[in-house]
Every structure is written in C-alpha cells, then in structure tokens.
A and B are shown apart, each in its own frame.
Chain A
Amino acid sequence: MGAIIALAKKDLLLLLRDKAGLFFALGFPLVMAVFFGTIFGGGGGGGGSSEPAGISVAVVDEDASAASSAFVDQLDASGDFEVTRSGSRESAADSVRRGTRSAAVVLTPGFGAASERVFWGDPATIEVIYDPSRGAESAMIEGMLMKLAFSGLGEKLSDADSVQTSNAEALRSLEDADDMGPLAKASLRELIGAVDTFFATGSESWMEEEEGGSPVGQMQWQPIAIETRSVREIETAGNQEEGDKGPGSGYDVSFPQGVMWALIGVSAAFGVSLVQERSGGTLRRLRVAPISRGDVLLGKALACYVSIIVASAALLVFGIVVFGVRPGSPLLLLMGMACAAVCFTGLMMLLSVLGKTEQAASGIGWAVLLLLAMFGGAMVPLFIMPGWMQSMASFSPVKWAILAIEGPLWRGFGVSEMLIPCGVLLAVGAGTFGIGAGVFGRMEES
C-alpha cells in the first residue's frame, strides 16, 4: 500500500507542476461552467446579477396607427426583445443582413384597422425578416409575437366597449363581403349580435354586482394561461425547512457540466502520463522495483481518482460560494462524484492503451472523450438532440455522470434514484479498468 501511495503522490505532484494539465483539469472546466451558467440564465437564484439580453430586432411601423404604435411599445416593454425602431424596411433588412440585428419586424399597413376586428375580416399582419443562419431565433420571435398578439386579444375581449366597437366594425365588414353566402352571413351576424348583447348587458350587471369593481378586472380573459415552475421550485415547495433556497439558476446546470470537463481533462492527462512512463523509460524502472504491475496501475488510478475528486469538489465549492449553487443533498452529491470518479478512472486506464506514443494516446483519448461528451450532453443539452441521438446518449458514461451529479444537486434525487446512474458508472469504471489493465499487461509482455 505504501508503494501505491508513493506512486499516487508522485503523480499528483507531477500534475500540479504540469500547467497545461492543470488548466484542463481545473481552469478550463471552471471557465466552461461560468460561461454557460451566465449564458443560460445565470443569476436567477445565485450570486450573478445579469439578466439575459432580449433578442435584438429592428422594428418598422409602416402602419403608424395608435394600435401599431401601442404594439411596438408592448414589444419594447416585454423584455423579450431589444427593440430598435427603424425608418424603413430596407434599412431594417440591411441591419439583419449585416448581422447587427437578429431579425426585422415590420408592422404592415392596415395593422391597426385589422387589429380592431375580432370575429371577422383579414388579420393584422406582421412580417418578420430573419437571418437564415439564425433560424432558431426566427422561430422564437414568431412565438413571442404570437404571445403578444394573444395578450392584446385577451385585453380586447376583457373590455366590453372595445368588443362592441370591434363587433360593429366586423358587422360592417360582413355586410360588404361578396365572397360569402347568405346562410353563412346570417350565422355570423347572429353570433356577433349575441356577443354584442352579452357584453352590453353583462358589463352593467357586473358593475352592479360588485361595487367599485372593475369590469375589466372581473372579465380578464386570455386564451391560455401558462405558469412556469422549475422542478427546483417544486422541490423547495415540498420542503419548507429549506425555504431559504432560491430558484435554481443556470449555474446549477453548468457546474455539473463543468465537472464533466474536469473528469475528461483529468482522465486524458493521466491516460497520457501512463504512455509517457512507458516511452520515457520510467515504467521500466518502476517495474524493476519490488512492486507488482498492479501496484503501478493502482497508484496511477489512485492519483487519477483523487485528482478527479479534488477538481470536482473545487469546482462545486466555487459554484456554491460564488454563484449560489445549492446542493440538495451533499451526501448523495459526494456519492455521485465518487462513482463518476471511478468511471473516469477506468476510462483513463483504457485510454492509456489506445495509443503507443504520447501524441497518439493524447489524440485518440481526447477524440473518444469528446465524442462521449457530445453524445452525453456535456456540450449541448440532450433535449435538443434528435431522438436517435438521445437514445445513444445512454451509451455515454458522461450522461450518467451528469445525472449522478445533477440528481442530488437540484433534481432532488433520493438514494433509490441514484442507484441506476451510480451503478452504470461503477460498472463502466470497473469494465474499462479491467480491459485497460489487461491490454496494458499484454503490451508489456510483447
């Protein structure tokens, strides 16, 4: 055991003095965690204070009506957009082409008049000019504009006077319509009349029923009410003693991903160090010493394991102290980290036999680890991947390691829920270590 500890101490000292190795074990994961935490809504419940910026759009009001102007104000006030008013669609389109705006939003002529009609007539039209390289943002903008439009519709239907004005306009438009049969016209006329009567009588009676009440307040209407709650809030609500917990922030997600990069960086560094021992001749010296091959490998594994634990713990402590990351269950978090460390120590052993030279081992090692990270969700969240990729993620230990760390951190996992990710990690660790050690032995004998 003394020899194993001596070997591990030596490797830890070597890692501490290897600036590049140390950066990839600790510095790089920290940068990734802070960077992505800040981008993805960091500051919600942590120490960060920056709000995510809205989508930058150029708005052109070609209608110049009160309704269109109010809509632009609504866009601006929503917080979803960073609005720049533009004088013409050409200049707005140019700003999109130059990449200074994500999209241009054009309120076309007739927007105001059309928005007055509720049940009949052409709809208010908004044109979105978008950058084809930012298709995802275009879809988001479309959704946000719909949300605002529905919100305006809800307010309109909550105001009896507005509905009645709108109905009168709709009835006039209906009478002028040439492309509709008499039966359809009669039906629509009846519907609009009924709505008109409902609002004409309803508003008076509501005012009488509740003195001082606002008819709008009573009739507040919207097509759908969506309430968003993070699973973290549900956990907090279920445990009142932990009421001091704020809502989860982006750092809750990014720091486990940062830990993944630490696991990857450390295992890559130690995988290469074993090849260095072989090519540099120190392995021969170690093997001549009165210690077994197993001692040499266990010493390397112990150093790798300790480095992973220390790097992961340092990252998480940094996240807790600086960014307000709050582990739900510290004990289970330790368990998750320990299992992830076993897994990546085993992977290190396997990586160390994949290349005969340091360059080959480093290249192959990083390639394998990056693939595992890509498919495991360490680079992009799994939910935005296609279905077949999400299925493949289960073959990546990175997915299970993220789950084993996120679980106790903010998903509220209990012991039983930790069993599967931890079991997978331990099995992968033991399997890859066994295969790596076996191949290592055969390489030594050949």
Chain B
Amino acid sequence: MIRVSGVVKTFGSLRAVDGVSFEVAPGEVFGLLGPNGAGKSTTIAMICGLLAPDSGVITIDGGSPTDPAARRALGVAPQAMAVYDELTARENLRFFGTLYGLKGAELARRCDELLQFVSLSDRARDRAGRYSGGMKRRLNLACAMTHDPKILLLDEPTAGVDPQSRNSLYEAVDRLRDEGRAIIYTTHYMEEAQRLCDRVGVIDHGAMLETGTVETLIEKHGGASSVVIERPAGEERVETDAPLGVIETALAGGDATGVRVERPSLETVFLNLTGRSLRD
C-alpha cells in the first residue's frame, strides 16, 4: 500500500534522507523511529507529496503522492494540533471533509461517525480552542479521517496528552488497523511503539538502519538480558543469556536483598543501533 524505495533528498550540502526504503501493508502499523533531525519529517513530507525526492520512488496505493487523486488515499495527523481553534469540532470536520468532496447527508453522517469514534460527540459544538490537549489530539486524528483514507500518517499522535487520552488513542489506532488501514506511526515513546507497531524502522542521519518486528529487532540488536542484584552495599548488574543461573548464585551468596531481570527492549535496540537515546 505504501512503498518507499531508495529515496534520497538533499537540501544544499545536507543529505536529509539517504536511500530510505520500506513498505507498509494494509492492516499494518509501521513505526518510524528516529531522533530529531534523523530524516523522519522529510520522509513523511515526501510521502505526503509536499516534497519531491531527488531520487527513488514513493507510491501510495499505487499512485504518486504528487498526484492529488492518489493523495485521496492518504490521511495525515500532523504533530502540531492542525485544527482551527475558532471552529467547533464539527465545523473542523465539515471543512476538511468538504475539501475531499464530501457534502450533504454523507458529510453529516461522516462527521457524526468520527465524533463518536474519538468520543467527542458531546463536545461537538464547542470550539477546539477550549479543548484539553487530549481532546484536541483526538480531533486532530478525526480530521485526518474525514474522507475514510486507506493510509494514515500519524506523527507523534500522543505527544503531550494525559495517560487516559493516550489509552483512548491506542484503542483508536488498534481499531483503525483492524479495519485494514496501513498506518505509519512516529513516536518518541518506545513503549508506545512496542505496544502498537507490528514492525518498526529505525532511522538516523537520513538512513534506515534496520526494519523488522519488535521481537526480531530485540533479538537481533537488543543484546543479552541483565540480572540486577540488590545488596546493602549497592546494585550489581550482570549481563547474561542464562539469568536463572545468575539468580541462583546470587541468592546462594546470602547478602542479596533483591533480584530483578531486565530484558532488552526497543530502547536498547535503538541505543545499540544509533549510539544514543531516542530523546537525545
């Protein structure tokens, strides 16, 4: 459904995107992970048709993103709250729906569906400027879906929202995947990527370092598990492929006050691949 193949984009002497390739299938959530300046935004801008690649090919639902007809398959929820504060939720939805050719009863029905989908039906007549951060994020997502797109680009959709709204958004993303949509999801939260993404791609310095399922990446780049032994004098960390043996030895020593096992995570994968934390 989305195919990005060998895409390169330069700005002057800066090679912002350097031969990035990946695919996203229908009903799949693909996490695009990378620190600020890694090339994520430029890649997404090219998928949206806002920037033309210097070389390489991007197709969305078989068409070019620069073709307005092909872009109908695309829905975008930008990281910024891209809604009009002075318009109500319904007015925002109606406006964006109109741009995609919806009108009359169909538009009204679609607005109702979306308001219900993001749990804003009871606040539909309130101006967006009066919403909490979480409500605005939900409206931001709804506005991306007015035309029922097959592909969704969700750029940091949970940034700055409370845990309750975050869970609500997770559930929404799950439902969208279940409906068969292809979703590209960018986030700074590793646990979020682990929770939602079927596959992830790690991008840094404009290059795609690795793609795969979370499990595959952890297995490949996560390294060994760690056993942390707590003693009155302090903690001892032991990396091992056989944690049970280390635990037995620690307990036999008699001075351990606690023991825990830390398994490798996506955070560890990212650290091992890029040499830095995602939020650096």
The chain A residues found within 8 Å of chain B, CB to CB, are 2-3, 6-7, 10, 13-14, 17-18, 279-282, 284-292, 444-446
Neighbour of A10 across the interface among B68, B72, B74, B95, CB < 8 A: B95
In the complex, the answer to whether A17 meets B100 with C-beta atoms within 8 Å is no
Give the contacts of B30-51 with A (CB-CB under 8 A): 48-51
Known A10-B87, A279-B80; 7 more pairs at CB < 8 Å: A280-B80, A281-B78, A282-B82, A287-B49, A289-B99, A290-B68, A291-B68
Which 5 pairs from chain A and chain B are nearest by CB? A281-B80, A281-B82, A290-B68, A281-B78, A17-B86
- Chain A residue numbers with a CB within 8 Å of B69 are 290
- Chain A residue numbers with a CB within 8 Å of B78 are 281, 284-285
Q: Mark B86-99, 1 if CB is under 8 A from A, else 0.
A: 11000100011011
- Chain A residue numbers with a CB within 8 Å of B100 are 289-290
- Chain B residue numbers with a CB within 8 Å of A3 are 98-99
- Chain A residue numbers with a CB within 8 Å of B99 are 3, 6-7, 286, 289-291
Name the distance in Å between B197's Cβ and chain A's nearest Cβ.
22
Neighbour of B81 across the interface among A7, A280, A446, CB < 8 A: A280
In the complex, the answer to whether A10 meets B50 with C-beta atoms within 8 Å is no
Check if B83 is an interface residue, CB within 8 A of chain A: yes
CA distance A286 to B76 in the complex (A): 10
Name the distance in Å between B257's Cβ and chain A's nearest Cβ.
51
CA distance A286 to B48 in the complex (A): 11
Range class of the B interface residue count: 20 to 34
Name the distance in Å between B274's Cβ and chain A's nearest Cβ.
27
Neighbour of B91 across the interface among A7, A13, A292, CB < 8 A: A13
Q: Mark B43-78, 1 if CB is under 8 A from A, else 0.
A: 000001111000000000000000011011010101
In the complex, the answer to whether B82 meets A6 with C-beta atoms within 8 Å is no
Name the distance in Å between A400's Cβ and chain B's nearest Cβ.
34
Check if B200 is an interface residue, CB within 8 A of chain A: no
Name the distance in Å between B121's Cβ and chain A's nearest Cβ.
22
In the complex, the answer to whether A445 meets B76 with C-beta atoms within 8 Å is no
Name the distance in Å between B248's Cβ and chain A's nearest Cβ.
55
In the complex, the answer to whether A288 meets B49 with C-beta atoms within 8 Å is yes
CA distance A6 to B80 in the complex (A): 22
A295 (CB) vs chain B CBs: closest residue: B99
Q: Binding site of A, secondary structure by majority: helix, strand, loop or mixed?
A: helix
Name the distance in Å between B40's Cβ and chain A's nearest Cβ.
14
Would you list 10 pairs from A and B whose C-beta atoms are within 8 A, ordered by A residue? A2-B101, A10-B95, A17-B86, A17-B87, A281-B78, A285-B82, A285-B96, A287-B49, A288-B49, A290-B99
Check if B114 is an interface residue, CB within 8 A of chain A: no
- Chain B residue numbers with a CB within 8 Å of A286 are 99
Name the distance in Å between A441's Cβ and chain B's nearest Cβ.
12
A293 (CB) vs chain B CBs: closest residue: B50
Given contacts A3-B98, A288-B71, contact A14 B50 (CB under 8 A): no
Check if B21 is an interface residue, CB within 8 A of chain A: no
CA distance A10 to B87 in the complex (A): 9
A21 (CB) vs chain B CBs: closest residue: B86
- Chain A residue numbers with a CB within 8 Å of B81 are 280-281
In the complex, the answer to whether B96 meets A281 with C-beta atoms within 8 Å is no
Q: Mark B134-146, 1 if CB is under 8 A from A, else 0.
A: 0000000001100
Q: Mark B152-185, 1 if CB is under 8 A from A, else 0.
A: 0000000000000000000000000000000000
CA distance A280 to B48 in the complex (A): 17
Neighbour of A292 across the interface among B48, B68, B76, CB < 8 A: B68
Name the distance in Å between B237's Cβ and chain A's nearest Cβ.
43
Name the distance in Å between B216's Cβ and chain A's nearest Cβ.
32
- Chain A residue numbers with a CB within 8 Å of B5 are none
Name the distance in Å between B185's Cβ and chain A's nearest Cβ.
17
Check if B194 is an interface residue, CB within 8 A of chain A: no
- Chain A residue numbers with a CB within 8 Å of B82 are 280-282, 284-285
Check if B79 is an interface residue, CB within 8 A of chain A: yes
- Chain B residue numbers with a CB within 8 Å of A287 are 48-50
Name the distance in Å between B57's Cβ and chain A's nearest Cβ.
19
CA distance A163 to B71 in the complex (A): 98
- Chain A residue numbers with a CB within 8 Å of B76 are 284-285, 288
CA distance A291 to B74 in the complex (A): 13
In the complex, the answer to whether A14 meets B98 with C-beta atoms within 8 Å is no
In the complex, the answer to whether A290 meets B87 with C-beta atoms within 8 Å is no
Name the distance in Å between B81's Cβ and chain A's nearest Cβ.
7
Neighbour of A444 across the interface among B50, B72, B74, B144, CB < 8 A: B50
